[in-house]
Amino acid sequence: MTVDSLGFVESMCTLPEQLTHAHEVAHEVHVDLPPRGSVDNVVVLGMGGSGIVGDIVAAVASSLPVPVITLKRYRLPAFVGPRTFAFAVSYTGNTEETLTMARDALEVGARLVAVSSGGALAELAASADAPHFDCPDGYLPRAALGALLAPVMVVLSRAGLYPEGHAELVKAQEQLARRRDECRPQVEGPKNPARELARRIGRTIPLVYGGGAIGAAAAQRWKQSMNENAKAPAFWNFYPELDHNEVCGWGQHGDVTRQVLSLVELRHGFEHPQLGRRFDANRALIEETLVQVLSVRAAGQSRLAQCLDLVHLGDWASTYLALDNDVDPGPIDAITQLKAELATHDGVNATESTRLSRRD
């Protein structure tokens, strides 16, 4: 195996157990739950591998009586206020945008729950007497999905907003273990679905299409994992939205796209019946402009199980794509360099610009 300097593969192998442990310990944290009828909206504040938690919750928790909105920005929208249940999620606890939003959420009276491995977010929660769920140290943020996701699901379940959250987590843990066992490094060749996907994608650029909310969340994560793990460009979209714009973009430059773009379709068992027809019709229109079309179908017994199954498979495929091309999947040098540049910039910093205008 090519160099894996940060032990990223081993971290991925432990995801099912990580989710199980986080699910168990989340029940031990005291949270003053909002009275019934006092919450108008749930917001998840987070970026990157932490922010995807909000996208997954919004996708799978379709029975929530209030909307779930993921905010990936600096400034809060005006609807955030005293009747908002806000989850600030940052593995390091030091994500600039998340901290800015969390401080402002407290200022406007939102009920805040923090999830991190420490850092300034933990300090902020302590100063505000807000609950903080402590994640284990030693993970890269994108490899800590289980530790970040379980507390949000447990709190929503305990608050009565998503009673099925516990059962969803149990089913997801079981499916993640099955998928991990199929994809771990000891399984070689075509028997390993992630290795086979990586082999077929090869040096092409993946374009990932999902169906509905679950497929959209998974497709977004696939794109992120291809970027961070394989250090490769990737793009994503979802049905039905893409059939109202992107489908027209294949009318030109087919001589170029058919040499470089591989379409990966992410399918799941909770699709609206019309989505399957859209997959088929769209594929027939654009297939000749692509290198190939690869189809992946989720397994699992619940919405969360199938969403995380697709996510986990994509994480593995992107990691094998890195290793197949002699790329270290762990380090993210471009992001590290960008953060260093922003930290030393002489211009107006994020906190000051937010002070000047807290709302979009």
The amino acid at 264: V
pLDDT of residue 187: 97
Q: Which of 316, 354, 127, 312 is nearest to 229 (CA)?
A: 316
Residues 40 and 103 in one domain: yes
The reply to whether 354 falls in a domain is no
Contact predicate 105/82, CB 8 Å: no
- All residues at 6 or more sequence positions from 227 whose CB lies less than 8 Å from its CB, including other chains: 233, 234
**Mean pLDDT along residues 11-17:** 97
**Mean pLDDT along residues 290-297:** 98
pLDDT of residue 352: 46
Residues 118 and 192 in one domain: no
Per residue in 26-77, pLDDT (tens digit) is 999 999 999 989 999 999 999 999 999 999 999 999 999 999 999 999 999 9
The reply to whether 337 falls in a domain is no
Residues 64 and 148 in one domain: yes
Per residue in 227-255, pLDDT (tens digit) is 999 999 999 999 999 999 999 999 899 99
d(CA 62, CA 343): 39
Q: What mean pLDDT is reported for the chain?
A: 95
By DSSP bridging, strand 132-134 and strand 84-89 are: unpaired
Helix (H) or strand (E) holding 177, with range, is helix 165-183
> If DSSP codes are grouped into helix, strand and coil, which group holds residue 69?
strand
d(CA 84, CA 34): 10
Question: At residue 1, does pLDDT exceed 70?
Answer: no
Per residue in 112-139, pLDDT (tens digit) is 999 999 999 999 999 999 999 999 999 9
The reply to whether 341 falls in a domain is no
Residues 108 and 212 in one domain: no
> If DSSP codes are grouped into helix, strand and coil, which group holds residue 210?
strand
The reply to whether 92 falls in a domain is yes
d(CA 175, CA 360): 40
pLDDT of residue 360: 58
300 secondary structure, DSSP code: -
Residues 193 and 104 in one domain: no
Contact predicate 132/125, CB 8 Å: yes
Residues 182 and 134 in one domain: no
**Mean pLDDT along residues 158-175:** 97
Q: How far is CA 37 from the centre of its chain?
A: 29
Question: At residue 336, does pLDDT exceed 60?
Answer: yes
pLDDT band, very low/low/confident/very high, at 343 (cuts 50, 70, 90): confident
d(CA 284, CA 282): 5
pLDDT of residue 251: 87
Of 128, 163, 198, which closes a domain? 163
Residues 149 and 214 in one domain: no
Contact predicate 157/164, CB 8 Å: yes
Structure tokens at 303: 């919405």
CATH of the domain at 38: 3.40.50.10490
Of 136, 163, 190, which closes a domain? 163
d(CA 290, CA 164): 41
**Mean pLDDT along residues 11-22:** 98
Question: How many residues are given for the chain?
Answer: 360
Residues 236 and 116 in one domain: no
Note down the domain range covering 105: 8-163
The amino acid at 14: T
Residues 100 and 229 in one domain: no
Contact predicate 266/215, CB 8 Å: yes
